[in-house]
Amino acid sequence: MNCSPDKPVKIVITSSPAYLPVVRGAVEKMCQLLGFDDEGAGGVVLSVDEALTNIIKHAYNGADDKPIDIDLAPLTESPAGGIRICLRDYGPSVDPEKIRSRDLDDIRPGGLGVHIMCECMDKLEYRRAEGGGTVLTMTKKAPERKGNVTR
Amino acid sequence: MKTSQDSPVRQVRWVGRDAIVEVHGDIDLRRSVDFQQTLLVLMDDKPARILIDLSDVPYMDSSGIASLVKILSRARRDGTVLRLFGLSVRVRSLFEITRLDNVFEICATEAEALA
C-alpha cells in the first residue's frame, strides 16, 4: 500500500481570510506526506498563504465570497518528488509580466508576497486562465533522501 | 491591560515605562489589522520601549510583517524603542527571507529585550 498521496488534492474555498489557516493545515500535511522537512514545508505553506493573500487583496479587492480553486499534487518529474500547487482565481486577469517582487531595500509595508514565493519555491508561473482569472502554478522539489533503503 | 479573547494581543504588562506585549496565535491577513490597531493605540500611552513577545506566535505572514513595519515606523517617529523577542524558527525565517532581521531589534528572551 502506497502511504504517500499520488493523486491531486482539490480544495475550493471562498476568498475569506477565515480559510487561510485551513489551507495552511492541509498544505503542511501534504508536504509532510510528500517527504518535506520542516523548513521546506514551512516555505511551501508560507508561499501558498502569500498567494492566497494576494488573490484576496488584489484579484478580489477584499471581497470574501469569491471562489478560489486550489490543487495540491505530487511532483512526478523529480526523483525525490515534491509538490505542485495550482491556485486559480476568477478575478480580472492580471498581465503576468507585471507581477514581480519589489526592492527590499525600500523598508515599507506590503509588496513582499511575490518575493517570499520566489525565495521559498523553485518555480512560479502566472498565466491568464481560460474564461477569465489567473492561474498561479508553483513547484517545489522535496529534499533528496540520503541512504535510500531497498528491500 | 487585558484585551478581548480574539485579539492577537493577549496582554500588555508594564515594567516602569516599558510595555511588554504578549501576542498569541497566527498573525496573518485575518488578524494583522487587529494586531496593528492594538499596538498603535498602545503607543498613544507613550511607552519608553515596546517589547513584543512572539513566543506564542507559531505563524506569521507578510501581513504580520507589514503591521510590524508600520508599528516600527511610528515608534521611530515617537522616539520609542521597539524590540521583538521569542521568535520561533519559522517566524525568524520570515524576517530573514524579507531581510528585515537587520531592521528590527530581535532578542532571544524577555530578559535580553529588557536589558
Q: Which of A38, A45, A119 sits opposite B97 (nearest CB)?
A: A119
Mean pLDDT of chain A: 89
Q: DSSP strand E in chain A: where?
A: 9-14, 67-74, 82-89, 123-128, 134-141
Q: How far is CA A82 from CA A5, A116, A122, in A?
A: 11, 19, 10
* φ, ψ (nearest 5 deg) of residue B49: -140, 145
Fold of the CATH domain B9-114: Transcription Regulator spoIIAA (3.30.750)
Using CA atoms, how far apart are residues A15 and A61, in angstroms rounded to an integer?
10
Report the DSSP beta bridge partners of residue A83: A74, A140
**Contacts with B26 (C-beta within 8 Å, 6 or more apart), sequence order:** A21, A24, B57, B58, B59, B60
What is the model's pLDDT at position A94? 73
Q: Are B62 and A116 a contacting pair at CB < 8 A?
A: yes
Contact A122, A134 (CB under 8 A): no
In chain B, where the domains are located: 9-114
Among A32-36, A56-60, A75-79, B101-105, the minimum mean pLDDT is found in A75-79
Looking at per-residue confidence, does A36 or A107 come out higher? A36
Q: Which residues contact B13 (CB under 8 A, 6 or more apart)?
A: B19, B20, B22
Of the candidate ranges A36-50, A69-83, B45-59, the one whose mean pLDDT is the lowest: A69-83
What's the pTM? 0.90
Chain B nearest C-alpha distance from A1 (Å): 33
Sorted by where each starts, the structural domains of chain A and their CATH numbers stand as 9-141 (3.30.565.10)
pLDDT tens, A107-140?
Answer: 666 678 999 999 999 999 999 998 889 999 999 9
Closest Cα in chain B, distance from residue A2 (Å): 30
Any CB–CB contact under 8 A between B100 and chain A?
yes
Specify the higher pLDDT residue, A12 or B6.
A12
Q: What is the DSSP string of B52-93?
A: EEEEE---B-HHHHHHHHHHHHHHHHHT-EEEEE---HHHHH
Retrieve residue A39's grid coordinates: 523548513
- Distance between CA A143 and CA A34 in Å, rounded? 10
pLDDT tier for residue B3 given thresholds of 50, 70 and 90: low
pLDDT of residue A112: 87
| CA–CA gap between residue B95 and residue B38 (Å, rounded) | 21
pLDDT of A5 reads 82
- Residue B87: list chain A partners with CB under 8 A: none
Q: B-chain residues within 8 Å CB-CB of A38? A: 89
Residues B14-68 have pLDDT tens digits of 999 999 999 999 999 999 999 999 999 999 999 999 999 999 999 999 999 999 9
Q: Do residues B52 and B113 lie in contact, with contact meaning Cβ atoms separated by under 8 Å?
A: no
What is d(CA B27, CA B35) in angstroms, rounded to the nearest whole number? Answer: 8
